[in-house]
Structure 1
């Protein structure tokens, strides 16, 4: 694995926000950056976690990502970031092209912003009577880090599943999405036939569609075009009208192109999307809600 190199993410964030219509969640922004060839960041850089000296896992890209959001707020290009809320471009941000950020004037604004943040952080330290990490050194967003932590842990655990258990998990997830799994074709010796599940989806118009399911655990490598091509060939033998391909990693650009070619398309669900769906359907996870005090409570006036 190539070691992550720290660098500015503001231009990538601006590009993503413009591509997403000016407003997006942190997860949507990261997905957009990861899948944008011109963002300056690869998929692995955006999502891969590393192990710290004390044994914990963290995502180094988040440092640059959260730094970038704060810097864009300081320069007036995004609205004030809030927990569990979308990042929103201001009118000024809509007009700002991603190139050449920051200018000398913008850098001066950013430096003043962080100087003020450091002063506020020192007040927090006094108020709490315990050590608080300097935001310039840490600069992690609690909401984003917490979300990323459990998602990374989920993907690690899925990769540790036996092939049979991962296939079972995939069928369970797909069933939550509204696909009725076939008791015979969907469960018995599915791997011997080249697919890992089969079911039926009934649309609002009461049309029933045959669905083939493929699941692959790839800890490091992405799913490539030949994997999709092979799956499409097997779909034909089951007379499936469309397919769903689930992986713990991600898909190459050529795999994405292959998935929508021809008369039968394949829905691609990568590891990040799996985590989002697990959260949506609360599939063997427990939601936890908490609150943290923002800077208002630590300012003198």
Structure 2
């Protein structure tokens, strides 16, 4: 199946719908996931997380450009509180109650146009400063129309997931077992590694809870470059779990799970924890798995505004 491409679009209405579904306040990541899973107005999971390669070879998410651009638009028209780096996006009273039937109005469009005209002047000032100190050339994508810092924080995860998708099946299984062991599952060296490939699973181990209860855990890994994990694959895995007498399972993929797969995962006595590609990168960050933290800074618009 060919990988779906993302078509650039306005997504501010979809952001409001997602925030309303999430109770009015959520992280950018939660908002994007909700938009992808609910497929508001034709959005799809693969479209939201589509990765594009720029002319100079950088990988980026075109959806992030539209997403952050429209976050700023929503703040400009008073639908959300002022976005703060690392903080949740929160709807205002207007954002929670406004009728979206004829959204946006002409008045809102005019207000946004004035805001971006001012931003163009600031971008020009920054460009002149770069020329003055000898910095030449632009990087793609142009993030001046977005919240650049938030976009940069996601760039390394885009690269991470793309690299994981290039793993061999054996390396992906090994990587998944390593990550799950960091999460507290003790991998059985015989059942979980040597015999796993011959018995329909990719790992097996034991997890001891705070109540000193030990559970048997079966692990399955699917490294997909496109497409989704469906209901049949979860059913097959649950059947294999029975032969290992596993209390629960963990299914890891670089892709995502269909709604029917999610439903099957929680049915019956043996449930399956699903980890898709986006959560996989979050777990790598949480457990600092073969990554090195880097901190940097960028100048706020304050330094470029005229008196």
Partner of 1:18: 20
Worse-superposed segment, 137-146 or 66-75: 137-146
Of the candidates 53, 56, 72, which is equivalent to residue 54 of structure 1? 56
C-alpha contact 1:121 1:132 (8 A) present in aligned 2: no
**1:205-231 C-alpha deviation (Å, 9 max, x unpaired):** 222111111011010111111100000
CA RMSD between the two structures = 2.0
1:230 aligns with 2:232: no
Instruction: Give the Cα–Cα distance (whole angstroms) in 2 for the partners of residues 176 and 136 of structure 1.
Output: 37
Partner SS state of residue 20, structure 2: helix
Instruction: Give the Cα–Cα distance (whole angstroms) in 2 for the partners of residues 117 and 245 of structure 1.
Output: 45
Instruction: Give the Cα–Cα distance (whole angstroms) in 1 for the partners of residues 195 and 41 of structure 2.
Output: 43
Instruction: Give the Cα–Cα distance (whole angstroms) in 1 for the partners of residues 267 and 101 of structure 2.
Output: 34
Partner SS state of residue 48, structure 1: coil
Number of matched pairs? 300
Partner of 2:193: 187
Partner of 1:124: 126
Instruction: Give the Cα–Cα distance (whole angstroms) in 1 for the partners of residues 12 and 186 of structure 2.
Output: 44
For residue 89 of structure 1, report the CA deviation from its aligned partner: 1.7
Q: Unmatched 5+ residue regions in structure 2? A: none
1:9 aligns with 2:11: yes
Structure-to-structure mapping, 1:157-196, within 5 angstroms? 157-196=163-202
Instruction: Give the Cα–Cα distance (whole angstroms) in 2 for the partners of residues 119 and 50 of structure 1.
Output: 28
The alpha-carbon distance between structure 1 residues 119 and 155, as it changes in their structure 2 partners (threshold 3 A), is same
For residue 10 of structure 1, report the CA deviation from its aligned partner: 0.4
Partner SS state of residue 246, structure 1: strand
Instruction: Give the Cα–Cα distance (whole angstroms) in 1 for the partners of residues 101 and 137 of structure 2.
Output: 35
**1:37-86 C-alpha deviation (Å, 9 max, x unpaired):** 33531011111101223322221111211111010010011122232222
Worse-superposed segment, 82-91 or 40-49: 82-91
Partner of 2:70: 68
Q: Unmatched 5+ residue regions in structure 1? A: none
Instruction: Give the Cα–Cα distance (whole angstroms) in 2 for the partners of residues 273 and 67 of structure 1.
Output: 24
Partner of 1:286: 292
Of the candidates 248, 264, 268, which is equivalent to residue 262 of structure 1? 268
Worse-superposed segment, 93-102 or 63-72: 93-102
Partner of 1:83: 85
Instruction: Give the Cα–Cα distance (whole angstroms) in 2 for the partners of residues 149 and 56 of structure 1.
Output: 9
Partner of 1:244: 250
Partner of 1:274: 280
Instruction: Give the Cα–Cα distance (whole angstroms) in 1 for the partners of residues 143 and 282 of structure 2.
Output: 29
The alpha-carbon distance between structure 1 residues 292 and 267, as it changes in their structure 2 partners (threshold 3 A), is same
Instruction: Give the Cα–Cα distance (whole angstroms) in 1 for the partners of residues 291 and 125 of structure 2.
Output: 37
Instruction: Give the Cα–Cα distance (whole angstroms) in 1 for the partners of residues 101 and 220 of structure 2.
Output: 41
Partner SS state of residue 218, structure 1: coil
Partner of 1:37: 39
Worse-superposed segment, 156-165 or 215-224: 156-165
Instruction: Give the Cα–Cα distance (whole angstroms) in 1 for the partners of residues 50 and 246 of structure 2.
Output: 34
Instruction: Give the Cα–Cα distance (whole angstroms) in 1 for the partners of residues 244 and 90 of structure 2.
Output: 45
For residue 138 of structure 1, report the CA deviation from its aligned partner: 5.3
The alpha-carbon distance between structure 1 residues 206 and 236, as it changes in their structure 2 partners (threshold 3 A), is same
Instruction: Give the Cα–Cα distance (whole angstroms) in 2 for the partners of residues 147 and 240 of structure 1.
Output: 38
TM-score, normalising length: structure 2: 0.91
